Structure 1
């Protein structure tokens, strides 16, 4: 095989690392989604064609490109193509309403928006509200006035685009949406140092330096499933860590427990990442039983707090393959808990099932009090603060909120937790989710309550909220999803909670649901629960 010398130059970016693999063993499988299966050679050529097609729309290095995409192989390639030509990736998530989506496009200064045809109407509306008038491109034909990027790419050369400068040390190359209010989204901007760190975390050199997300991978055998959204930090992390190691990346278009089990089994998946509700749904599926996934070596669980009892159930079903990870859009990697460590230490130290692990290489963690730069003592609850190369550059075009979140390179995460003497981190709540209740206005940590509720017979999922209360300011209200055929007695639940956690945690109300609402990334949607409770629509209060 003859390849262009430019294609095998010294790696400068993570895309170069991927191309090192895609330039060798061209017939090996690289990307899979159902019947669509691309070899390394095919993936490389399509990546280069997409890069030329994007350049043909007038995009230059440093320009922002909004990606409003579903989970598909073409979405993976277009994201790589944006970085290949030196542009800035701006991930546009599916959750925001029209106003916030339009604000996100405007604030990110996107010169173009690439949309899945399914989302083209919403993308056109958002782009149309922007004074920057971004070009609207679609991954395939659609009914809106979009330019078909795939059709353009089919006519482009498959040689690598040249003349791309290396990204600057303080240049934002990827922007993640973190949510906002009143039309002011927060956009966490990251530099290329994030990707350099991710590369290190999945190479041999980092394996003995501390806990990592995935074990050392073998590109000849490893097959990684991207089950969460590719435009979310969890899906992006999973896909990048697979591709930079040369592993095959399999994309799950939409999560459903039965479909996920089928893909895990038939595609011989060796590693994947789930958010907790996804893991729970798989465990509750009737086809999920010990030995059903013999190829699986690693399930990373992250994105939200995970029930210790559910983690132990997963180990019983899948074996010692469960890893925990903790991060957020502002710091994509913070802690990890290797599967081997959890399996070996968990039986001896049961409290570790509640931990999300220790700091990954290159990251420092301190627990600090409110408005304090001083670290708190071991086991004292405070705000989790993080320093390291996975921490964002700042909020894009938002110096005021950047100054509030970052102090001397330290990020205040908004998560509450504590460290033990060995450096294991335990999260107890989001700062904004703490329920302040009782005659003395004490703190109720929803994570602690939810973990206990998930140990009760018949409870499949649980969420706790603070709701307005005239006497106590806030009262504890819980929402429970029951297992099929289970008969949950709310009064008995309250008695059990009080006996285990004390009167402060006793729920004033219990709401029984068939299932808890989730966001597009699979987390329990507490905003939806709160809104539905306020309107009293669709709930059976007990």
Structure 2
């Protein structure tokens, strides 16, 4: 934290927004934000940001108030999130995943005084706001059919100067709240203070000297780098990607919705140098017929994270794009945990093939321990247990939820719910989510879905794979797998089952194999195992 102390003593920027504005006050004609034909220079972005800050204040918002952001991927979504922090309010990200009941509960529990919605989501936003006893003000980024205030129209009439009189946030004040899922009426909201942003800015600054940690933050060249954000801006992955670009003064290009062909076109036409994908996005890109070596000569870094990645697919990425691949591991409760730089993966991968299954080592200032259930003692090297982490990037707790905060945090250590192990050099290997472990067999042994899925992705014709447990009268659970196969592939389920048994043993043998054109994904781009379980566990078309 030495950099932050020094910054305060020398009147350097106090927040990451100040850091962004430093860039936007220089070289004003340089490109800052891009979405299709919409292209904002640094000067235009700065003035629009200030206008949005004043427009939010005109709605009666004061420092410390919560502002729900129910937004699509667009340039103005980036700016309104910055504007909320600029005036000292709390950002509450509202991703489009929850159903109506949980979305309403999320708005209520977060105590949002206002909800800013994309016009596309206005009906759902109005329903959620209307159910809240706090009666939040409903604002939209543009005109919409619902009765709400057009924030962009108000901002256009506001002064293009920075709002004054914003107090510095408290050390333990929640400034950003991320949705992490939950149950109807009781969502989980991971709350973070400005310490998170201080840590992330430190990591960005340290990246050139510390290549181990460039998995999350590649070394950037503000003069030439162009960063594509393709995951949701209201999700931790999209938030980190946009932060990486803006804090370094790089141009940020926003992809409204992911589709492999459209993503390839934007990557090529906008000369993107760095981007981040969740695994299903990366796999779809690799499977596109135009994705060939040399197709994206400007691309220097792809960060993959957000879910478990297949080693074979990661190797394919390097074969197609070269040594550009970095990995990052985090979650809403701790946005930065471990990372693996492209340089290390390129140099060590051929010598140590097991590293393709690793998600790297702890980022600076973060500790990782592997613990058995109910224990506070660290397990030995290579023994599987729950991944526990401690550091400045860990959340304050679940907002307005002391009970679940106490379950997740103990003496500053976060129980991640991920199962994994550490090797002797501190590399972390994930084997499953605790809730995704399949307990089966006559001795009730653990089947790690990550291990099974990694193997399935090495089989010819398999583009994506998911494994889950289905109820079984004899063994409690049985293994069921779902395979997304290539269009012209002739995948034999019996041969797949035999290959699994031969490689992983009888315990991993699937009871049922379902062949699909594609696997369902969440709005964040991860494989949606809940949807698979709901649709296929009772009856499923396909093969036995």
Match of 1:59 among 48, 58, 61: 61
TM-score, with structure 2 as normaliser: 0.97
Cα contact 1:111–1:132 (8 A) shared by 2: yes
Instruction: Return the offset for 1:534.
Output: 3.6
Q: Is residue 203 from structure 1 mapped to residue 205 from structure 2 by the alignment?
A: yes
- 2:175 match: 173
Matches within 5 A, 1:179-194: 179-194=181-196
Q: Deviations over 1:191-248 (max 9, x none)?
A: 0011011111111477328423232211110000001000000000000111000000
Q: Deviations over 1:381-402 (max 9, x none)?
A: 0000000011000000000000
Runs (4 or more) in structure 1 with deviation over 2 Å come to 204-210, 534-537
What is the distance in 1 between the residues matched to 2:188 and 2:480? 29
- 1:132 match: 134
Cα contact 1:207–1:215 (8 A) shared by 2: no
Matches within 5 A, 1:446-457: 446-457=449-460
- 1:40 match: 42
Q: What is the SS of the residue equivalent to 2:306?
A: coil
TM-score, with structure 1 as normaliser: 0.97
- 2:79 match: 77
Matches within 5 A, 1:136-175: 136-175=138-177
Distance 1:336-1:208 versus aligned 2 partners, 3 A rule: same
Q: What is the SS of the residue equivalent to 1:541?
A: coil
Q: What is the SS of the residue equivalent to 1:347?
A: coil
What is the distance in 1 between the residues matched to 2:209 and 2:117? 38
What is the distance in 2 between the residues matched to 1:540 and 1:205? 48
Cα contact 1:382–1:416 (8 A) shared by 2: yes
Instruction: Return the offset for 1:541.
Output: 3.3
- 1:302 match: 305
Matches within 5 A, 1:304-319: 304-319=307-322
- 1:435 match: 438
What is the distance in 2 between the residues matched to 1:208 and 1:535? 50
Instruction: Return the offset for 1:357.
Output: 0.4
Q: Is residue 409 from structure 1 mapped to residue 412 from structure 2 by the alignment?
A: yes
Cα contact 1:214–1:298 (8 A) shared by 2: no
- 2:21 match: 19
Total equivalences in the alignment: 534
What is the distance in 1 between the residues matched to 2:462 and 2:290? 20
Cα contact 2:211–2:341 (8 A) shared by 1: no
Moved more, 311-320 or 175-184: 175-184
Distance 1:35-1:215 versus aligned 2 partners, 3 A rule: same
- 2:240 match: 237
What is the distance in 2 between the residues matched to 1:218 and 1:413? 34
What is the distance in 1 between the residues matched to 2:279 and 2:478? 26
Cα contact 1:211–1:336 (8 A) shared by 2: yes
Match of 1:256 among 241, 255, 259: 259
Instruction: Return the offset for 1:25.
Output: 0.4
- 2:3 match: none
Distance 1:205-1:467 versus aligned 2 partners, 3 A rule: closer
What is the distance in 1 between the residues matched to 2:227 and 2:211? 23
Q: Deviations over 1:299-354 (max 9, x none)?
A: 00000000000000000000000001100000000000000100110110000000
What is the distance in 2 between the residues matched to 1:129 and 1:182? 14
What is the distance in 1 between the residues matched to 2:184 and 2:114? 24
Q: Which runs of 5+ in 1 are unaligned?
A: 1-7
Match of 2:470 among 459, 462, 467: 467
- 1:284 match: 287
Cα contact 1:28–1:39 (8 A) shared by 2: yes
- 1:483 match: 486
Supply the RMSD in Å over aligned alpha carbons.
Answer: 1.1
Q: Which runs of 5+ in 2 are unaligned?
A: 1-9
Cα contact 1:15–1:84 (8 A) shared by 2: yes
Q: Is residue 522 from structure 1 mapped to residue 501 from structure 2 by the alignment?
A: no
